[in-house]
């Protein structure tokens, strides 16, 4: 992808982005059904935003259900507004609300810890970041709505390739930059060269995230690539987990865990079973006379190798033709795959000297 492609994408994105406005939490009050009073306007929100707003004021689904059953809609309205007012005093929060001009509904709400970061500011910063550090854009992923969030994947002009095992070569210094109105985050993006699979790992350092793009706040994140120890430690952590997974069988509990990840990302059952055959393995045990449905699944081996399951996850996330190229479920699944790889293994590879 060339710089011209980057600028063309930026112009398209900015021309299609939905409007966002900043509000204080105390300016938002619940009316009833899916309607809120936001500032001076009566606005309808979708169920996803309703759950977001509840989480901002500290109201769980379980609490909402209990209050609604006990006191009806009037009770849940009063309780929501009480929590919002109380938390506005003890934990002030600003929210960026993103609206769809066509449906006239709020489609997303983002907490703002410092300043609202506009898409225009983000693209300018991404350009500055790449110019300073010798990176070029590779691809983009966005949320379902323009203006709600974006991830840019970047490759170095002089990539570093490291090997963790024979035929397991990785490009280790690619990066992703993720934005929403509340923050910008930079993290590691590894590419397994044998199949060009991508995998995402957060850099666990305050230097890799910022809640403002004011000049005084961006120096640390702007210089992340220059802090070689951050990128090296990120890959070293990944490498140690990969080595533990190679040659290690997955437990039935681990297959179930991966199946749930795939289900949460909307992957159809047939495809999910190819990647993580939890249901067919469970049936195979039953057919052989072993009912393990109530057993300790973390102690029971599955038919699959951990590394193979992991690579099938990242291969699907990177190359499937079911999702659009810009679908942010790709990045979410790549990150979930690395989280799976980073878990303590249920069944470890043992060395037997006899």
Which of 81, 112, 143 is where one domain is finished? 112
161 and 191 Cβ atoms separated by less than 8 Å: no
Q: What is the mean pLDDT of the chain?
A: 88
Question: 124 and 213: one domain?
Answer: yes
Does 53 share its domain with 77? yes
pLDDT value at 227 more than 50: yes
For residue 4, is it within any domain? no
148-187 pLDDT per residue, tens: 899 999 999 999 999 998 889 999 999 999 999 999 999 9
Each residue of 47-106: pLDDT tens digit?
888 888 887 777 777 887 787 788 877 777 788 777 777 766 556 578 899 988 888 888
For the chain, the domain total comes to 3
- Structural domain containing residue 25: 18-112
Query: What number is the average pLDDT over the span 244-260?
Result: 93
Model confidence, pTM: 0.85
Q: What per-residue confidence (pLDDT) applies to 71?
A: 81
Statement to judge: residues 94 and 144 lie in one domain: no
What is the average pLDDT across 43-47? 83
Cα–Cα dist 202/187, whole Å: 5
Intra-chain end-to-end CA distance of the chain, in Å: 55
Of the candidates 266, 335, 346, the residue with the CA atom closest to the CA atom of residue 306: 346
Q: What is the pLDDT of residue 297?
A: 84
pLDDT at 221: 93
Residues 88 and 176 in one domain: no
Q: Which of 8-22, 94-108, 287-301 reaches the highest mean pLDDT?
A: 8-22
Looking at the structure, tell me whether residues 22 and 94 fall in a common domain: yes
Q: In this structure, are 222 and 255 located in the same domain?
A: no
Instruction: Determine the number of helices (DSSP H) and then strands (DSSP E) in the chain.
Output: 11, 15
Sheet bearing 20-24, strands edge to edge: 20-24, 94-100, 105-112, 41-45, 35-38, 28-32
Percent share of the chain, pLDDT over 70: 96
The one-character DSSP state at 208 is G
Instruction: Give the model's pLDDT for residue 354.
Output: 46
Query: Greater confidence, 19 or 216?
Result: 19
Residue 249 makes CB contacts below 8 A (sequence gap 6+) with 301, 302, 304, 305, 306, 347
Mean pLDDT score, 281-307: 86
Per-residue pLDDT band for 353 (boundaries 50, 70, 90) equals very low
5 located within any domain: no
Q: Is residue 31 part of a domain?
A: yes
The mean pLDDT of 194-208, rounded to a whole number, is: 88
Residue with tokens 């060269």: 193
Same domain, 196 and 277: no
Domain shared by 155 and 93, yes or no = no
The DSSP code for 327 is B
Q: Residue 41 has what pLDDT? A: 85
- Please write the tens of the pLDDT for every residue from 255-272: 999 999 999 999 999 999
> Tokens for 162?
């490291």
pLDDT higher than threshold 70 for residue 43: yes
């Amino acid at each position: 992808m060339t710089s011209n492609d980057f600028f063309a994408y930026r112009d398209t994105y900015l021309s299609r982005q939905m409007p966002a406005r900043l509000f204080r939490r105390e300016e938002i009050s619940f009316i009833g059904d899916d309607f809120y009073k936001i500032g001076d306007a009566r606005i309808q929100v979708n169920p996803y935003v309703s759950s977001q707003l509840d989480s901002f004021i500290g109201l769980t689904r379980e609490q909402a259900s209990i209050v609604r059953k006990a006191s009806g809609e009037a009770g849940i309205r009063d309780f929501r507004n009480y929590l919002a007012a109380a938390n506005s005093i003890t934990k002030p929060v600003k929210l960026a609300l993103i609206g769809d001009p066509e449906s006239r509904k709020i489609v997303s709400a983002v907490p703002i810890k410092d300043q609202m970061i506009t898409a225009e500011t983000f693209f300018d910063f991404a350009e500055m970041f790449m110019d300073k550090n010798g990176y070029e854009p590779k691809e983009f992923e966005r949320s379902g709505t323009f203006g709600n969030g974006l991830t840019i994947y970047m490759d170095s002009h002089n990539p570093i390739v490291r090997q963790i095992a024979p035929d397991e070569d990785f490009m280790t210094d690619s990066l992703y930059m993720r934005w929403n109105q509340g923050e910008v985050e930079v993290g590691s993006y590894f590419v397994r060269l044998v199949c060009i699979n991508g995998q995402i790992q957060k850099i666990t350092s305050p230097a890799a995230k910022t809640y403002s793009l004011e000049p005084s706040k961006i120096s640390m994140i702007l210089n992340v690539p220059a802090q070689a120890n951050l990128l090296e430690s990120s890959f070293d952590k990944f490498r140690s987990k990969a080595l533990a997974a190679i040659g290690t069988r997955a437990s039935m509990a681990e297959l179930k865990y991966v199946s749930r990840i795939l289900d949460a990302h909307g992957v159809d059952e047939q495809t999910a079973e190819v990647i993580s055959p939890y249901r067919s393995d469970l049936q195979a045990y039953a057919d052989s006379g072993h009912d393990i449905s109530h057993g300790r699944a973390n102690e029971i081996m599955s038919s699959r190798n951990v590394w193979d399951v992991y690579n099938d996850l990242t291969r699907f996330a990177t190359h499937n033709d079911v999702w659009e190229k810009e679908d942010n479920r790709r990045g979410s699944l790549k990150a979930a795959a690395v989280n799976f790889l980073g878990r303590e293994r249920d069944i470890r590879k043992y060395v037997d000297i006899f």
